[in-house]
Amino acid sequence: MAMCYERALEAYVRGSGCLVGAGASAYDAGKVAGLKVHYFKRAELLPRVRMVLGFLHGIEFDSLLDVGSGRGAFLWPFLEAFPDKEVHVVDLLERRVALYRAVAAGGEFRLHVHQGDVRELDLPGNSVDVVTMLEVLEHIPDAEGAVRNAALITRRHVVVTVPSKPDDNPEHIHLFTTESLGELFRRAGFSKLNFGAVPGHLFMVASC
């Protein structure tokens, strides 16, 4: 059996209505049922994900909003490391949202799933401690609007990673520098900006 994020995988299989028989693994049961179990395979953490998790281990927080969770490259290791935190996820794509909803339905995680645009996300102001926007801003035409709403939602921090050099991904419509990314967040009202770097990416924590 492939090495997986077991707790999230088991929640996904249960939440998808699949029963796991005696002696069977959730991976095998889900695979037989045609579920997307490959999303939960464990791989070496991406350097940027490791950096974000390291930051989170160094602070106290109770709640987090992850914007554009994608295939779960950050979400699954986050849920493993912080299983008792309240987590909101938002994504535009229905197939992603269906995946998260199955995990929420089948697990003990405090996971809340939203479909839509972060610029229109209807969460109360100051409702979460941390917002993560990992490999997201470069995709959003109105990046300033996305940052502005993140600033309203967070009580403490927004954690960002973006590519730091050009690539051939046609969905990447912005290329940020330290200066342009910092200015974007200063205009949204953040007074404390801390930058770091991993190969090919910028890392930034914006604090209220």
Report the candidate in 180, 192, 181 with the shortest Cα–Cα distance to residue 154.
192
As a whole number of angstroms, the distance between CA 115 and CA 121 comes to: 9
Report domain 45-207's class: alpha beta
114-145, pLDDT tens digit by residue? 999 999 998 999 999 999 999 999 999 999 99
Q: Is the pLDDT of residue 20 over 80?
A: no
Work out the average pLDDT over 111-115.
97
Note the pLDDT of residue 21.
65
Domain range annotation of the chain: 1-43, 45-207
Work out the average pLDDT over 174-203.
95
Note the pLDDT of residue 130.
98
Note the pLDDT of residue 187.
97
Q: What is the pTM of this model?
A: 0.94
31-74, pLDDT tens digit by residue? 989 999 999 999 999 999 999 999 999 999 999 999 999 999 99
Note the pLDDT of residue 23.
65
DSSP H stretches of helix in the chain:
6-15, 26-32, 47-57, 75-81, 94-106, 143-153, 178-187
Note the pLDDT of residue 152.
96
Three-state DSSP at 51 gives helix
- Residue 163: enclosing H or E segment and its boundaries? strand 154-163
Cβ-based burial of 17 (10 A; exposed 0-12, middle 13-18, buried ≥19): exposed
As a whole number of angstroms, the distance between CA 194 and CA 204 comes to: 6
Long-range contacts of 72-75 (CB under 8 A, 24+ apart): 72/5, 72/8, 72/39, 72/40, 72/99, 73/46, 73/49, 74/49, 74/132, 74/134, 75/8, 75/100
Note the pLDDT of residue 15.
95
